[in-house]
Structure formats: structure tokens, C-alpha cells
Amino acid sequence: MIKERVKMEVIGLEIPLISGNEEYTLAELISKYPLEENDIIVIAETVVSKSEKNVILKDTIKPSNEAIELSKKLGKEPEVVQVILDESNETVRLGPNFIVTETKHGFVCANSGVDESNTSKGIKPLPKNPDKSANEIRKGIEEITGKKVGVIINDSMGRPFRKGSCGVAIGVSGVCGLWDRKGEKDLFGRELKTTEVGIADELAATASVVMGQSDEGIPLVIIRNAPVPFKEGTGKELIRKKEEDVFR
């Protein structure tokens, strides 16, 4: 009457803290884990940014007048606001203590995804090119292990209409980003009602359940036996163009 059809595993891994001064690459580090063919590796963006030394030293930032004005409204340090502005194409909305921007990558998110909890060392933007980072990590892993894998770089973002952050895929390689199911039929031979699935976002959210907060020490998650297409995908294909969005 009830039959098991799929059994997917979601494995949360602790790794050493990444500073950017490691003598190994992320691909080398991840390959130490006994990976299997078609594993999907989800990595918290913060780890990727740090490993790429994408951290801006606070005393090198000269806040503009615009950043200083905005910083008062938002209750943020002018240096942080300057980085948020530098990382953005445009401001989409101004909230009580956040700015929603479109980032240079095209993501619409709060504060350009810039990590506000800056350490003494600096302020951390999102990785510069998450699809490229995901691709490099994947190629590295495949070279070392000889196994075909997928790589997703995820981040937690807030959303309109719904409270709470949710994991999304900002970089994708080796696995489908947006799953186009147009033309497929359901059990009754009818066209599927949902034709485009944000599958990499759902996988990113899956990993986020296990990561909790990446700073808890589980910034790396392996998703094994996921029933998803392993055709080439990107994080970019998940971005809705401004002119196709009724909320822009």
C-alpha cells in the first residue's frame, strides 16, 4: 500500500575553518571525503568567499557621501554600506534597516548579500562569480576523484511575502539549475502543472536544513541519490529578468 521509491541522504560535514591561507584548495579538501558518483556537494558561500580571499579590509574603504547618508538611515557602518553599494547594480527597495539591491550578479537580495558581521579583518561580499567558482571546484573534484559530481554554492536569503531566510543556489555546476519539465506528462497523461522547477534552489534549501548557520561549523553538505537531472546547469538560469518580473 505504501512503497519506498527514493531514499536520498543529506550528510552534513564539518571542515576546518577557512581563512584563505590554506595550502590546499577547496576541491582538494572536499575530495578527502569518500564521494560517490552523482553526489551533489553544497558549499556555503561564506567558505567560498573566504577561500578566494574575497574580503575587503575595512580601513581601505572610503565611504562616499551617499554611503554616509544611507548608513544613518540603516544603522549600519558607512564602510559596510559602501561595500553594499559597490556590489550592487541598483537599489530595489529601502527597508527600515536593510537595502534590497540587485547585485552585480543579478541577485535581488538584502544588503547585496554582504556579510555585515564583519570581523576585525574585513567585510565579506558574495563570491565574485559563483558559477565560475562552482565549476572550478567541480572540475577539481572530478580530476582528483575520477567521479562525476554536482556542485552548488548556497546562501541564505530573505524573501518577499514570507518570513525567515531560506537557502538558495547562487552558483551551480554539473547539475540542473532550473529544471524545465514542459511537455512532460503526469500519471493521468496531462501536461505537468508546474513546468519549471527551481531544483538547485530546492537542493540549496535542503543543504541549509543541515547547515543551519554555516558558522556553526557545517558549511559543507553532500546530497546523495537525489532524483534530479545531472545535465549542465548554472545559478544564473535561476535569475528572473527584471522585465519578466511583475514585482520589479
What gap in Å lies between CA 30 and CA 191, rounded to an integer?
A: 40
Among 133, 156, 173, 234, binds a copy of itself (CB under 8 A): 156
Per-position x/- string for 182-211, each x denoting binding to a copy of itself as judged by CB under 8 A, each - no binding: --x-xxx-xxxxx-xxxx-xxx-xx-xxx-
What is d(CA 18, CA 245) in angstroms, rounded to the nearest whole number?
A: 37
| C-alpha of 98 from chain center | 19
Count of residues that bind a copy of itself according to CB under 8 A:
84
Instruction: Give the separation between CA 82 and CA 80, rounded to whole angstroms.
Output: 5
Residue in 141, 204, 215, 138 with CA at minimum distance from that of residue 168? 204
Mapped onto helix, strand or coil, the DSSP state of residue 42 is strand
Joined together, the cell numbers standing for residue 136 give 572550478
Least distance (Å) from a copy of itself to the CB of residue 231? 15
Copy the grid coordinates of residue 127. 563570491
* 189 has binding-site annotation: no
Question: Shortest Cβ distance from residue 6 to a copy of itself (Å)?
Answer: 4
Q: Which is nearer to a copy of itself, 64 or 106 (CB)?
A: 106
For a copy of itself, the binding residue among 75, 146, 160, 183 (CB under 8 A) is 160
Q: Interface with a copy of itself includes 133 (CB under 8 A)?
A: no
Residue 181 in contact with a copy of itself, rule: CB under 8 A:
yes
Q: Which residues are annotated as a binding site for GTP?
A: 15-18, 45-46, 50, 118, 211-218
